[in-house]
Structure 1
Amino acid sequence: MIRPVPPSHPAYLRVVRTSAWYDLVVTAAFATPWTYALVHDALSKLGDALKLGTLPALDPIETLYANLMGSVVVVWALLRIINPLPAHGLYDGLARTLFSTWQAYALAHGAPRWLWVFLAAEMALGIVQLAPWWRTRHTDLMNPPAGQPLGDAGR
């Protein structure tokens, strides 16, 4: 079994930076109406060719939400690329948990099946970034400082 490194370990910061690069590559094209239209068309054509489903026709509100998401994710990715911190991995893991939840919801309600690829990536990166925190918290709970009752560690 692969053991997660503590969030303070340099390898963890490489994971934070790698997840940021993934976000930048995958979402940069969502940040503008023009590039989103190209991505929308490409994903629909690919989904149609692979028989995995297409996207509905573009509308201004969908484009707005895609652009808002793309803009925020690009800025968040740049922060983690330029200055990766352990806390960034924690928050990114939490955000990926939310993204995964909403992607699963969309899939359960008829979203194109190619979304499974993105859901798998979100879940994997979320787990890799959250596992060291869970392990650290779990270790702290099981080994409290001398004189401190079990369950009060870290308060």
Structure 2
Amino acid sequence: MRTVRASAWYDLVVTAGFATPWTYGLVHGVLSSGGEAAGLGALPPLEPMQVLFANLMGSVVIVWAALRLLRPLPVHGLLDGVARLLFASWQAYAATHGAPALLWPFFAVELALGVVQLVPWWRARRVERTAGPAAPAVG
């Protein structure tokens, strides 16, 4: 459950600024400046639809993070792992289709947290297959 909570804290720290138009404007400026300074490129200029989608993503991720902090369950790790692999896929797609290279560090974190949360599930499935079907319960 430590990994589920750690990924939730990461989400809160990284995405809280995306949740409102005002905070996203600040985050956008910081990310653009940092990306340019690091040679990874700036974000495109702010537009209403971009702000809307950033706010929707930020809001949903904050609620999802709160659930994992308040009630971390193994299934939350499974679902978060799957979601992170999906996020990483779309980040890689965007980065390879003209989005700023600023996405690559976020891609690396998403991929790592996704794999770390899915490995226990993969191992458990492997053990189940090796052990065969469980014996019926007696009683």
TM-score, normalization by structure 1: 0.85
Corresponding position of 1:80:
68
Q: CA RMSD in A?
A: 1.3
Could you tell me which amino acid in structure 2 is paired with residue 111 of structure 1? A
**2:84 paired with 1:118:** no
**2:6 paired with 1:25:** no
Q: Distance in 2 between matches of 1:84 and 1:146?
A: 27
TM-score, normalization by structure 2: 0.94
Q: Distance in 2 between matches of 1:35 and 1:56?
A: 17
**2:2 paired with 1:14:** yes
Pick from 134, 138, 143 the counterpart of residue 122 of structure 2.
Answer: 134
**Cα offset for 1:114?**
1.9
Identical pairs, percent: 63
Pick from 126, 132, 139 the counterpart of residue 144 of structure 1.
Answer: 132
Q: Distance in 2 between matches of 1:55 and 1:35?
A: 15
**Structure 1 runs (4+) greater than 2 angstroms displaced:** 145-148
Point out the more displaced range, 13-22 or 108-117.
108-117
**Cα offset for 1:70?**
0.1
Pick from 51, 55, 64 the counterpart of residue 39 of structure 2.
Answer: 51
Query: Any idea what SS the aligned residue of 1:56 has?
Result: coil
- Aligned length in residues: 136
**Cα offset for 1:145?**
3.3
**2:82 paired with 1:99:** no
**Cα offset for 1:147?**
7.2
- Structure (1 or 2) with the greater helix fraction: 2
**Cα offset for 1:146?**
6.2
**Cα offset for 1:50?**
1.7
Deviations 1:31-57 (CA, angstroms, capped at 9, x unpaired): 000000000011111111122101111
**Cα offset for 1:61?**
0.3
Q: Distance in 2 between matches of 1:29 and 1:22?
A: 12
Corresponding position of 1:63:
51
